[in-house]
Amino acid sequence: MSNINHVAIIMDGNGRWGLKKFKSRNFGHQKGIKTVEKIIEVSIKKNIKFLTLYTFSTENWKRPKYEINFLFKLLEDYLKKNLDILLKNNIKFTVLGDINKFPVKLRNSINNAIKLTKKNKKLQINLALNYGSKDEILRSLKIIIKKKMKVNVKNIQNNLYTSGMPDPDILIRTGNTNRLSNFMLWQLSYSEIFFVKKLWPDFNKNDFKKILNQFKEIKRNYGKI
């Protein structure tokens, strides 16, 4: 039986869900937050230590400006309203990616949440923000070259955003799309991948628990017999 330390999720389908309900894509993003809350709740109960959520990719800048602004406001509001909950539940909040392009108010909210929760130990939530895996690997190599270190697997890993974390045991992608979309390409080498047809706002606690139970029955050989 396999232990679960780290779950990564590509939360796909918010916009499509909103349009399907004859509302806006932004309505779907709002509903998607409710699903995030449910998944956090189950993760705590199941003693998962790391939860990584693909929230805003380097490619998402191509979306309409009004949608990008809405996503930024949604995240800023969420952090302000839920900071006490993160602290109460002993949740550490951190970011994978480069947030320097984000609005100042949002950056301040993110940095404040990181600072205030940095000693929390129950669950670490990593939001992948302005994140692209190819950029992450390139960034790691640039750091290695700058420090005149050897280019090897260990040094590349140590200079990724996920340095010090275990690689994901599980990747879940909702939205009926079967691809990785430039997400954690290095870290997902041996992860078990679950593609789900449901759009993210329809993904529920039972769906998540079912995947966790399925994973526990998998024998992981890492290339060995």
Catalytic residue ranges = 12, 60
Q: For residues 116-140, b (16+ Cβ closer than 10 Å) or e, as one string? A: ebeebeebbbbbbbbbbbebbeeeb
Give the whole-angstrom CA distance, residue 101 versus residue 99.
5
Instruction: Report the amino acid identity of residue 63.
Output: R
* The residue count for the chain: 225
- The conformational region for residue 12 under phi > 0 = left, psi -120 to 50 = alpha, else beta, is beta
Give the whole-angstrom CA distance, residue 143 versus residue 116.
28
